[in-house]
Amino acid sequence: MKQAMAITLIALTATQTGCSWLGIRDRSHDYLLAEEMAPIVVPADLDSAALGQIYAIPTVLNDSVALDELDVPRPDPAAFLTFEQSVKIQRYEDRRWILVNQLPAQIWPRLRSILVRNGVPAAVADGERGVIESVWVKFNDDEALSHRFRFTVIPGIAVDSTEIAVLHQAVERGAEEGVEWPQNSDSDSREQALVQMVAGQLASNSGISSVSLLAQTIGGKGRVELVSPEVADPFIVVQLNFDRSWASISYAAQRGGFTIVDQNRSAGTLLVDFNDSEGEQRSFWQRWFGSDEQLLSSDYQIVLKAVGGNVEVRIVALDGSSLARKEAQRLLQILRGNMT
């Protein structure tokens, strides 16, 4: 008992005095006594590259608009579920995909784990391209065909999101060697079944958190970017075809304070009203009294224009003139945050 008390006393003493009782001076607070020193001057005939700044501050290319006044802007409305995982199955025309509001590097290891647990072994797992290809498998209800699946993981249109697409292929047994992947699934029902299985397990295992270092560059840069040229109006670049871009922008223009008043798809224009202060209350009274046409009035135009293989999106005044740069950037940021 006495020995235990002695050990406890020594431990408490060591905790209070640090390492000084061993003859080693405690240097943990020496930084408080540090003084500024003049930089070392290297003679002109010598190379000073090795004596550069250890903590160099890089040049920041700031293309944002400076505040004209010391005002604090209102926070942008949250248009996407940021604080809890959201898993959705979306479909546009003949394409179906899973949308998850997590980064591809987080989704990649979870997807691989789901496939392993469900007996879908991978023949190819390329984390840089975001592609998983299964081996050829046989189903009990189909004795004539062999089947395989390709899973493609890419950055989503929504901010910090991921899209997972599934492609199914079926060929006669014995003819699997050298077969090229089709453009669309051979069986929509088998594609749908696997999509639902993966989406269900992603949603049920939302607490799992891991990141793949190999998959951090999946799909490269995002497919939506807010561009702010120095001598031109800011705009959003969408790396999609016009149809998908129109669908995404139309969805975004009904959220976060925006309301569509009129639209002309052929011209690529949306007339919108924007109100971020009382949009919810106004919408309630409009629905209650049924007087949307009288209360709504358009404030801006959203203009979509196909440029090469991309689509550029701008917000302008009703007469087509440019908005103040600060206002245009703010509205575009809100619109971009609503996109999915």
Query: What pLDDT does residue 84 have?
Result: 57
DSSP string, 108-171: HHHHHHHHHHTT--EEEEETTTTEEEEPPEEETTEEEEEEEEEEEEEE-SSTT-EEEEEEEEEE
As a whole number of angstroms, the distance between CA 79 and CA 68 comes to 27
Q: Which pLDDT does position 196 carry in this prediction?
A: 93
pLDDT reported for residue 214: 55
Q: What is the pLDDT of residue 277?
A: 65
pLDDT of 5:
53
pLDDT in the model for residue 285? 45
Q: Which pLDDT value is given to residue 315?
A: 94
Would you say 286 and 295 are in contact if contact means Cβ atoms under 8 Å apart?
yes
Amino acid residing at 166:
V
Domains along the chain with CATH numbers: 87-204 (3.30.530.50), 224-338 (3.30.310.170)
- Specify the pLDDT at position 331: 92
Residues contacting 120, CB < 8 A, separation 6+: 134, 137, 149
Assign residue 9 a region: left if phi > 0, alpha if psi is -120 to 50, beta otherwise? alpha
Q: Give CA–CA dist 143/103, Å, rounded.
A: 39
Sign of the torsion angle spanned by Cα atoms 12, 15, 16, 20? positive
Q: What is the pLDDT of residue 53?
A: 60
Confidence at residue 71, expressed as pLDDT on a 0 to 100 scale: 56
User: Distances in Å between the alpha carbon of 24 and those of 8, 20, 30, 113?
Assistant: 21, 5, 14, 50
**pLDDT at residue 299 in the model:** 86
From first to last of the 340 residues of the chain, give the pLDDT tens digit.
555 555 554 454 544 544 544 567 777 777 778 787 787 788 888 776 665 566 666 666 555 544 445 555 555 555 444 445 688 998 888 889 999 988 888 899 899 999 988 888 899 998 888 899 999 988 888 889 999 999 999 988 888 889 999 999 999 999 999 899 999 999 999 999 999 999 999 988 765 555 555 555 675 667 888 888 888 899 999 998 999 899 999 999 998 889 999 999 999 999 999 987 644 444 544 544 554 444 456 789 999 999 988 999 999 999 999 999 999 999 999 999 888 8
Bridge partners of residue 98, in order along the sequence? 89, 164
Cα R_g (the chain), whole angstroms: 29
